[in-house]
Structure 1
Amino acid sequence: MHRYGLIGKNISYSFSRGYFREKFEALGLSDHLYENFDLPGLTEFPLLLEKYPDLKGLNVTIPYKEQIIDYLDELHPTAEAIGAVNTIAFGPGGLKGFNTDVTGFKESLKPLLTQMDREALILGTGGASKAVFHGLEALGLKATYVSRKAGKNQLTYSELTPEKLSQYQLIVNCTPVGTHPHTAHAPELPYSGLKPTQLLYDLIYNPAETRFLLEGKRKGCRIKNGLEMLQIQAEEAWKIWNS
């Protein structure tokens, strides 16, 4: 059996399992299996490896994209630069960590950008936000984090006035706020400051239009959810596992 899977916490909603099951079926790979491994903590990770010695590859999601690095034998340079891993390859040298989120984000964002898009706000400071920051830099955009805590190159939500919010051409939500079933929630922003020239990108894909995106839609903003990003990063992971 060629076994693959996703590790994370509270991941029953995940896109990956259904995506890879459909992919395996379409390719006639009856000896391939993709499972969700819901771990209460990463101390369970070594036990998972013992239980499933036939694992060929893993995806990693919230909240383990940064913590998983301590359990790996090697990092791809991009994953090392980002400081977060979302894909693990199993090989003769052990476990190697990659970050395909950055490719998924960049490739899904590029068609939406205009010459006027130069500065971005990144909501959240977790593993996914680091890939987004790296991707924005690669695309030539200056990025600033937004967090509940003050920090270097970082604003707090309380510092975002409507006027301040309007100065950024792109706002990317990297937090889980607004994910199903908590669809009434949205990041605490002064949405009255949004302008039609802005682009709102939400890494969330369930629901397809979060309240964050709907607020932007009401203001005439360009909007994009994270589904295409997930599809691209999944295909990149598949390439890594089969290289």
Structure 2
Amino acid sequence: MHLEQPQTLMLKFGLIGKNIEYSFSRKYFSEKFEKNDIDASYVNFDCQSLQDVRTVLQQKDEDHLGYNVTIPYKQAIIPYLDEMNKHASAIGAVNVIKRLNNGRLKGYNTDYIGFRKSLKPFLDKQNHKCALILGTGGASKAVAYTLELEDISFKYVSRNPKKGQLAYEDLTPAMINKYTLIINTTPLGTFPNVTECPKISYRQISSKHLLYDLVYNPEETQFLKNGKAQGAMTTNGYNMLRLQAEAAWRIWK
């Protein structure tokens, strides 16, 4: 496990994930702390295994007030926590951890907050009743939770579908036409593999569709390019990331 050495500052925060050198969170919070003259540090905990995650969480560091959690540990980290916020429990995934005053670790989910707030302006413009969620990882659960709150019916699409889920091969032209909101929660198209994209029938995409990609690097993925070429509205995951980060900060404060 590679752990960056945090500076000795009053408050400490960090990101738990795997292969996270590229991460949004460290840059975002480091700049936030500097801009607002907050005496704090933010480091990456690059964990190659769950044992590495456990080691990080077991550090008896009262100054380490919180962690963000990213791929692939949003679900796997739950057994190592002492308690869960009701939304995180309902979603079944955690992307924020707070060390409480008594030292206990509490899990939260701000992904759904970021996703819901970033989605709302598009829902104000277009009326979407049916959605496809591409992928079934931790982030997809926050997306599903949001869609339930917004009363939008949805189906999961997976390369290895479970009961009640769809395979990519199941997506007929009629289904693409019906499900006008399509959210990519897979890492397909992330830099440097920028030519990759989910295998759906983009020919059926039209101006009534919204394609939302949780990927933010590159700014416009192949998935979004394909949708834009068909006249669809498109958006990437940067605004969601920014909004979930601010929600995490409110929890830690």
Q: TM-score range by the shorter chain?
A: over 0.9
Q: Per-residue deviation at 1:41?
A: 0.9
CA-based RMSD: 1.2
Is the deviation greater in 80-89 or in 156-165?
156-165
Contact 1:162 1:191 (8 Å CA) reproduced: no
Separation in 1, partners of 2:163, 2:117: 28
Contact 2:126 2:208 (8 Å CA) reproduced: no
1:152 to 163, 185, 189: 163
* 1:101 alignment partner in structure 2: 111
Superposed, which structure 2 residues align to 1:42-61 within 5 Å?
Answer: 42-51=50-59, 53=61, 54-61=63-70
Find out whether 1:233 has 2:244 as its counterpart.
yes
Deviation string for 1:136-169 (max 9, x for gaps)?
1101111110011232331111111233212111
Separation in 1, partners of 2:114, 2:149: 13
Deviation string for 1:24-80 (max 9, x for gaps)?
011112x30001111001211232235571311000001100000010000000000
Find out whether 1:35 has 2:46 as its counterpart.
no
Letter of the 1:208 partner, please give it: E
1:17 to 26, 29, 34: 26
Separation in 2, partners of 1:12, 1:139: 34
* 2:205 alignment partner in structure 1: 194
Is the deviation greater in 47-56 or in 102-111?
47-56
Deviation string for 1:155-204 (max 9, x for gaps)?
11111123321211100000000001110100111111111110000000
SS of equivalent to 1:223? strand
* 1:62 alignment partner in structure 2: 71
Separation in 2, partners of 1:44, 1:150: 30
Separation in 2, partners of 1:49, 1:99: 17
* 1:183 alignment partner in structure 2: 194
* 2:80 alignment partner in structure 1: 71
2:121 to 111, 120, 123: 111
Separation in 1, partners of 2:191, 2:170: 28
Letter of the 1:169 partner, please give it: T
Separation in 2, partners of 1:69, 1:150: 23
Q: Against the structure 1 CA distance between its residues 94 and 51, is the aligned structure 2 distance closer, same or farther, given a 3 Å change threshold?
A: closer
Q: How many equivalent residue pairs?
A: 241
**Ranges of 4+ aligned residues in structure 1 off by more than 3 Å:** 49-52
Unpaired runs of 5+ residues, structure 1, are none
Deviation string for 1:79-117 (max 9, x for gaps)?
000000000000115000000000000000011014531
Query: Percent identity, aligned pairs only?
Result: 52
SS of equivalent to 1:153? coil
Q: Against the structure 1 CA distance between its residues 41 and 97, is the aligned structure 2 distance closer, same or farther, given a 3 Å change threshold?
A: same
Separation in 2, partners of 1:208, 1:229: 13
Find out whether 1:7 has 2:16 as its counterpart.
yes
1:212 to 202, 219, 223: 223
Letter of the 1:47 partner, please give it: T
Separation in 2, partners of 1:25, 1:137: 38
Contact 1:162 1:190 (8 Å CA) reproduced: yes
SS of equivalent to 1:56? strand
How does the TM-score come out when normalised to structure 1? Answer: 0.96
* 2:137 alignment partner in structure 1: 126
Letter of the 2:20 partner, please give it: I
SS of equivalent to 1:197? coil
